[in-house]
Homo-oligomer: A and B are copies of this chain.
């Protein structure tokens, strides 16, 4: 069932209110979501058409079976993200909750599962005597450092070449990206962007993959990716 993220928020809030108050009124929903009651009413009509809530004029709002299922699902996402932000990244209560309520509508099942795995992983490491959470907290407290130092930007003349033909430890400026759609998108996502400066810092045993440094991050590029990147000596 395709559902807008506002619709999901209404479901989520009805669910929470029913847990907290037992009976849910339109005004409660409005107060909680920060909208006016007429907005709630039309949202309820939409949800009712999709058989997600039961609602009659002047009556209480309740979730249908389907609605309850969906609401629980939304809230499960909310809680997982909230915990992740709060207990792993160390974000404040309020902000973690806000961010979670925004992101919950866009997180894939795989990402969600990975977050849960991460909790399990930390618990396991802790049982082995390594408390990553508190190490991270301490690390952030004493001021964090970007690894590898940042790279200076330049832009000048010599001839363009694919990064795959580049030499180690030379600064290159990225001129252009080629390759097919998927490759291009991945490169951009990783920060491999025209104008940026890049350095090959290491490489695999057969010459590839390349380990490059860009914007202070270390990335690994496969051969096809490195060929798609046109650079010029910086």
Contact = CB atoms under 8 A, between A and B. Distances in A.
A20 B184 contact: yes
Interface string A41-72: 00000000000000000000000000000000
Contact of A123 (B107, B135, B148): B148
A79 interface: yes
Given A120-B145, A120-B146, A120-B147, A95 B78 contact: no
Contacts of A190: 79, 82-83
B121 A92 contact: no
Contacts of A147: 119-120, 123-124, 127
Interface in A87-142: 89-100, 102-103, 105-108, 110-111, 114-121, 123-125, 127, 132, 135-136, 139-140
A203 interface: no
Given A121-B140, A123-B148, A148-B123, A99 B107 contact: yes
A123 B218 CA distance: 9
Interface of A: 16, 19-20, 78-79, 82-83, 85, 89-100, 102-103, 105-108, 110-111, 114-121, 123-125, 127, 132, 135-136, 139-140, 144-148, 177, 182, 184-186, 188-191, 193-195, 217-218
27 contacts: A16-B188, A20-B188, A78-B189, A82-B189, A83-B191, A85-B111, A85-B114, A89-B111, A89-B115, A89-B118, A90-B114, A91-B111, A92-B110, A95-B108, A99-B106, A99-B107, A99-B108, A102-B103, A102-B105, A102-B107, A114-B140, A118-B136, A119-B147, A119-B217, A120-B146, A121-B144, A123-B218
Given A20-B177, A82-B189, A83-B191, 20 more contacts: A19-B193, A19-B195, A78-B189, A79-B189, A83-B190, A83-B217, A94-B182, A95-B110, A96-B111, A97-B186, A99-B108, A103-B103, A103-B106, A117-B144, A119-B147, A120-B139, A120-B145, A120-B147, A123-B147, A125-B135
